[in-house]
Amino acid sequence: MVERQFPKLKAAGSSPVSRSLTIQVQLPDLFRSRIQKQQDIEANAFFESFQQPVPVSVRVNPAKTIAIPPSWQPVPWHPQGYYLPQRPDFTSDPLFHAGAYYVQEASSMFLYQVLTQVADLKQPLKILDLCAAPGGKSTLILSLLNDQSFLVANEVIRSRVQPLKQNLVKWGNPNMLLSNNDPADFEFLEGCFDVVVVDAPCSGEGMFRKDEKARNEWSPEQVMLCASRQNRILDKAAALVKKDGFLVYSTCTFANEENEEQMQRLLDSGIWESVSINVPPEWGITASSLNGVKGYRFYPHKVKGEGLFMACLQKTSGDNGEEVSGKKLSFLPPKQAAVLTKWLTNPASFSFVMGKEQIYAMPAFMTEVYARLSTRLSIVQCGFPIGKLAGDDLIPSHELALSTALHEQTPAVELDLSNALLYLKKGSLKPESGWPKGWATANYKGKRLGWMKVMPNRMNNYYPAEWRILKDIEI
């Protein structure tokens, strides 16, 4: 019965059998030579793991709960993480488009353990994810925040901002600000963040099993180039952490130069301490302690996941930042704002700010944050656009449909799998008797996909054209 509550997704590839066969990965010779010299790695078992299929895992959105199929197996270090028996065609699952889960490599989910063990998540926290795309760690952080905490999700590469934005929108938590900036642009926020997360660009050794490009581009020179880049990023990131705050650093590589040595450089400054994380031995995670750095390594022959390094430092001294002045915001007049309140579960907790084209619903406590940060940062989104006013009527935004702030009593149309996929392809559906007239969300298994407007004889599909499914799917 539980299995039927979740769509049976078609496996990617020719057949499930093909997923169980070993694969052939040619590792760079110099990489193999270096690994054989690392004492904490059983080299033969390590190399053999690269010939095994890549595990597939997802992290379920606790704000958009779904029934878990019996075939899904828990990821030990995250309560909403699950391994799938094989890789399905996620594009064919409406729940994926609804933001009910995020496809994330299992090792990366260890961030949950770090944050829940070191940070007081009951307090109002300011968290920065400095290298946020494509959004795995940002969505994980958002699920841990209380109502008075917020996340700044930043991405420096412009081409990666829109995929990041789409994943944040699907996740639905409004307590976030999305920016497109170089780490140096944050200097005016020195000592302002309780937690700064740096998932640094690296040589990608931990992804060799599934990333041929990373294998082909790898060289010892590339490792050192990445280490130099990480030095710069960490110098900027470390300055942003307030006293007693935390810096969480991770890479998907095994090189000491990109991992422990980066942390050691900060420890040598005398204002940081390396923080221990409680890790049960049955998880298979390797705790390293090179020169006082307490790091956590994920080796693919010991854990069901890809290669990863993660460490956490706490700042023991330093001055906390001062609040900078912000620009004056243009708030929606009270009479017009009253039109919007029926669309939100808790409208009193939001302020409505006029944007260039749409009205933005921002958690009220974040308006000052936005006013300050927008003077010096390139802000892509704060809170979420709620829509446009046409007289006394709201033309709702797609972001509102996917937001957890949308009122639960908003009219909705429940679709079966074939009609949900047709909707996601921006196809036309014929209204059925009992459908509410006017604006309604298109739902699949109770999860909202987007807006439709139901007319007497037709339905207008308001799913964003740039989000629509383009691939051929059997409906």
Return d(Cα 133, Cα 266) in angstroms, integer.
25
Residue position matching structure tokens 């917020």: 150
Residue 457 Cα distances to 418, 430, 432, 436, 463, angstroms: 21, 7, 9, 12, 19
Return d(Cα 212, Cα 225) in angstroms, integer.
19
Return d(Cα 264, Cα 386) in angstroms, integer.
46
CB neighbours of residue 297 within 10 Å? 23
Determine contact, residues 57/106, Cβ cutoff 8 Å: yes
Comparing CA positions, the residue from 446, 113, 450, 129 lying closest to residue 278 is 113
**Token pair for 459:** 């339905």
Return d(Cα 208, Cα 327) in angstroms, integer.
47
Return d(Cα 122, Cα 147) in angstroms, integer.
9
Q: What is the 3-state secondary structure (H, E, C) of 246-259?
A: EEEEEECCCCHHHC
Comparing CA positions, the residue from 367, 366, 358, 385 lying closest to residue 329 is 367
Residue 322 Cα distances to 180, 186, 189, 237, angstroms: 23, 13, 8, 17
Determine contact, residues 107/308, Cβ cutoff 8 Å: yes
Return d(Cα 132, Cα 139) in angstroms, integer.
10
Residue 412 belongs to what H/E stretch?
strand 412-415
Cis peptide leading into residue 134 (ω within 30°): yes
Of the candidates 131, 202, 226, 252, the residue annotated as catalytic is: 252
Return d(Cα 284, Cα 298) in angstroms, integer.
8
3-state secondary structure at position 294: strand
- 58 DSSP β-pair partners: 82, 103
Residue 433 Cα distances to 173, 211, 422, 442, 461, angstroms: 33, 50, 19, 15, 18
382 classed as catalytic: no
Return d(Cα 227, Cα 25) in angstroms, integer.
25
Positions marked active-site: 252
